[in-house]
Amino acid sequence: MLSALFPLTARPTESNHLELGGCDVVALAEKFGTPLYIFDEATIRAQAARALNAFRSRWNDVVVLYATKAYFAPFLARLYHELGVGLDVTSEAEIVIAKHAGFDSEKIYVHGNNKTPEEIRAALHSNIRHFVVDNLDEISNLSELASVVRRPSPVVHCLIRLSPNIDAHTHRYMTTGVADSKFGLGISDGMAERAAREISQHKNLQLVGLHFHIGSQVFDTDALREALHAVLDVAADWKAKFNFELSELNIGGGWGVAYNEMHSTLEMDAFAENTTRALREGLRARDLNEHLKLIVEPGRGLIARAGVAMYRVGSVKEIPDVRTYIAIDGGMGDNVRPALYGAQYAAFLVNRINENATREYAIAGRYCEQGDVLLERAHLPETRVGDLLAIPVAGAYQLPMASNYNLIPRPAVVLVNDGNARLVRRRETIQDMLACDV
Ligand code: LLP
């Protein structure tokens, strides 16, 4: 039985290799080299369809945005455009890629706790009009820039990002909805209300809704529900005070996924059911608009499982009475998550996929840093130099956070589907890395 951590199309071949999207990964490693990131198109499609169905079947006016920070590239933009999701973007480059792929500006929401004038201008030039306001200073900037960039629709639609002061019980670096956070505007300290009043002073800004995102890798659905109620309280309070109409509610992303067999995944259907039920009840109880546009913006939940990172074993070093290290040809340069968050993954030998795990190894990356250990305890068959090792659930926050530490080029990316493998990003070269040095 293959691990359910792998993409949906994962199968063993007759020669005891792993197959993804109808392609033997051992052959892919030979053709494209390692480290190699493999994305399975069928899984990308299936995950997006599940999220869309889960919410569309329960709420009339719903938009699923893909949080591009999880991983974005032209091939993914084209796919998500075809699948009918919108985008949560945070930079000018993400906007350029999105527009190039044909995204309708209506389906793009601009985020960021310090949007630069260049980014705001680029978004407005692309006729994007949904902005998630994260601080007071951004409001006048936005209004001023909107008044100089000529667009078909001169009014910018703002959602205020609230900081509901609720702990999502995830890693500290992924907790964003508590009082002491760089993101969002506080409720109890009155900052969010100040933002609402300030937005109303500008003719070319219109406050259409509220946003919250309490964190990432969230499994605590009670915390999400609590945050939802806190935000609906704000909407009711503002309705009473200044006739605010909640037309759009963005409940963020953050759906937790399993990275190894010890973890579980926040089940999408159950999550959609719980959230929409709580929302319906919450709106009714407060006499708020029950026909609002509901927006969700998962990143990891859509893309993580579609990606597999593949490495070649370069050394097996036994330290008697301590442990045995396997050194691979990637590491923190392409996956900083274990070093940064203590993220725990699973690893598999994919050139002998059916062999039982008999030993425990530590998997060391090749970077010059003692903390560059991708797994402290990997259970594998007896492993030899030249073996191919895969880490599943590698689709989110690995490539976009990759670096050139030690001046090592970043990996190639391949998209597999129905027996075809398409190179969607070639391996970086030394020339690429030096291109900006003058
Ligand atoms: N919406 C907002 C406003 C966000 O800040 C984020 C993630 C998302 C949606 C998507 O969250 P997701 O569904 O992907 O969990 N680098 C970290 C994660 C940082 C998340 C940043 N914001 C990691 O590797 O786990």
- State the DSSP string of 141-198: HHHHHHHHS--SS-PEEEEEEEE------S-GGGB-SSSS-SSSEESTTSHHHHHHHH
* Residue 368 is among the residues annotated as catalytic for this protein: yes
128 touches 95 (CB < 8 A): yes
- Which residue minimizes the CA distance to atom 8 of ligand 1? 253
> What per-residue string of b and e applies to 396-415 under the rule 16 or more CB within 10 Å gives b?
bbbbebbeebeebbbbbbbb
What value does the mean pLDDT take over residues 109-116? 96
Domain limits of the chain?
A: 11-40+304-434, 111-298
Distance from Cα 229 to the centre of ligand 1, integer Å: 21
Confidence (pLDDT) at 183: 84
Query: Nearest Cα to 103, choosing from 81, 120, 119?
Result: 81
Confidence (pLDDT) at 182: 84
> Longest Cα pair distance anywhere in the chain, in angstroms?
72
Would you say residue 149 has pLDDT above 80? Answer: yes
**Adjacent-strand bridge partners of 207:** 158
pLDDT interval class at 357 (50, 70, 90)? very high
- Which residue minimizes the CA distance to atom 22 of ligand 1? 216
Classify residue 22 as left (phi > 0), alpha (psi -120 to 50) or beta: left
- What SS3 state is found at 4? coil
> 47, 68, 69, 76: which to mutate for ligand 1, most atoms within 8 A of CB?
69
What value does the mean pLDDT take over residues 237-260? 96
Confidence (pLDDT) at 175: 75
- Which residue minimizes the CA distance to atom 5 of ligand 1? 213
Query: How many residues are given for the chain?
Result: 438
Confidence (pLDDT) at 169: 76
Atom of ligand 1 nearest to the CA of 304: 14
What value does the mean pLDDT take over residues 87-94? 97
Would you say residue 207 has pLDDT above 90? Answer: yes
Distance from Cα 122 to the centre of ligand 1, integer Å: 23
Distance from Cα 209 to the centre of ligand 1, integer Å: 20
pLDDT interval class at 115 (50, 70, 90)? very high
Q: Which amino acid is at 362?
A: A
Distance from Cα 177 to the centre of ligand 1, integer Å: 12
CATH of 111-298, one of 3.40.50.620, 3.20.20.10, 3.10.20.740, 3.40.50.720: 3.20.20.10
**Adjacent-strand bridge partners of 90:** none
pLDDT interval class at 45 (50, 70, 90)? very high
**Domain boundaries 11-40+304-434, CATH class:** mainly beta
Name, in order, each residue with C-beta under 8 angstroms of 435's C-beta and a sequence gap of 6 or more.
none
Would you say residue 1 has pLDDT above 90? Answer: no
The reply to whether 111-298 shares the fold of 11-40+304-434 is no
Q: Which protein residues touch ligand 1 with a CB less than 6 Å away?
A: 67, 69-70, 88, 111, 174, 213, 216-217, 252-255, 297-301, 337, 396-397
